[in-house]
Amino acid sequence: MLRTGICGTDLHIERWDDWAAAGIRAPLIPGHEFSGEVVEVGEPVHDVAVGDRVSGEGNIVCGMCRNCRAGRRQMCIRTKGVGLHRDGAFAEYVIIPGENVWVHHAGVDPDVGAIFDPFGNAVHTALAFSVVGEDVLVTGCGPIGLMSIAVARHVGARFIVASDVSPARLELAAKMGADATVDVSRERIADVQPRLGMREGFDVGFQMSGSAKAPPEMIENMNHGGRIALLGLPSEPHAVDWAKVVTHMLTLKGIYGREMFETWNSMRAMLQNSETLRASIASIISNRYATRQWRAAFDAAGSGGVGEVILDWTEL
């Protein structure tokens, strides 16, 4: 192990909240955002060699269900998660199937390699629908939401509006390429549209927020025929204006993890071809700690208003 990122899921496990207690079987080594160096491969493994710098796809699939056999592995009905259902990356070594290993053939900084997992979530969401020339609304400016802004800007969105309640994260959203930011504790998203010259609502939405208020406000601000990619898991149940979904002919698409492995190919290609995007994604990493400072690292990750927090395993 070289680097690991601290995800919101890891915070739930460390706090041992109701979600963790219901879904995690202890003892468990958490951690699923990582980069490392291969030290050993099993006999059947090919295309992965000792010494390779790698990241890993954290969803381990059965290979036999209908979706797996049709090539839709991200929809496997028996998915097991690294760091969730089997030991993960908060350790000096992790073992994963050879087919889950992603080799960084081009030079990729270990810090950036450690966030390929959440970057993949952002890319999967941002590419769920065409955003070329479209007006995009992003609700929730955590690290994945911020990365989705950078991807939408790279791909060619017209206007991008980002909403959150954290001034620090909204400032980061502007640096990622958002044309306007909205502190929804003080202002409504609808009030921003006239300032940008928008007349008909948003064409595409990325719902990245954990707030139960975010999805209804996104639906309220979509154009007829708007398309919404839903990645964020609301913290509590919320009402949906299904009459508006139907009469405005909205499309809602759930996003979970990454497409295996088309999203990974897209990530690699975009980073190879755009220095601007590489710099934007690297800038998401706001805090780095030696592994022995894990307590401070978790506290920082849970404080809000920060980007990605990285643990450096070369500094035990």
Helix or strand (DSSP H, E) at 162: strand 160-164
Query: Which residue among the candidates 4, 9, 79, 291 is catalytic per the annotation?
Result: 9
Query: Which residue among the candidates 12, 85, 248, 251 is catalytic per the annotation?
Result: 12
Asked if residues 205 and 227 have their Cβ atoms less than 8 Å apart, the reply is yes
Q: How far apart are CA 255 and CA 125, in angstroms?
A: 6
Report helix, strand or coil for 245.
helix
Picking from 129, 150, 131, 187, the residue whose alpha carbon sits closest to that of residue 282 is 150
What are the strands, taking DSSP E only, across the chain? 3-5, 33-37, 53-56, 59-60, 80-81, 101-103, 136-139, 160-164, 180-183, 202-207, 222-230, 251-254, 285-290, 308-312
Q: Indicate the residue type of 77.
A: I
Q: How far apart are CA 166 and CA 62, in angstroms?
A: 40
12 is catalytic: yes
Picking from 87, 105, 106, the residue whose alpha carbon sits closest to that of residue 34 is 87
> Cis peptide before 202, with omega less than 30 degrees from 0?
no
Q: How far apart are CA 123 and CA 139, in angstroms?
A: 15
Report helix, strand or coil for 45.
coil
Q: How far apart are CA 31 and CA 86, in angstroms?
A: 10
- Bridge partners of 101, per DSSP, are 56
Q: Indicate the residue type of 248.
A: H
Phi, psi of 246 (to 5 degrees): -75, -55
124 is catalytic: no
Question: In the numeric block, which tokens belong to residue 178?
Answer: 């958002």
Residues involved in catalysis = 9, 12
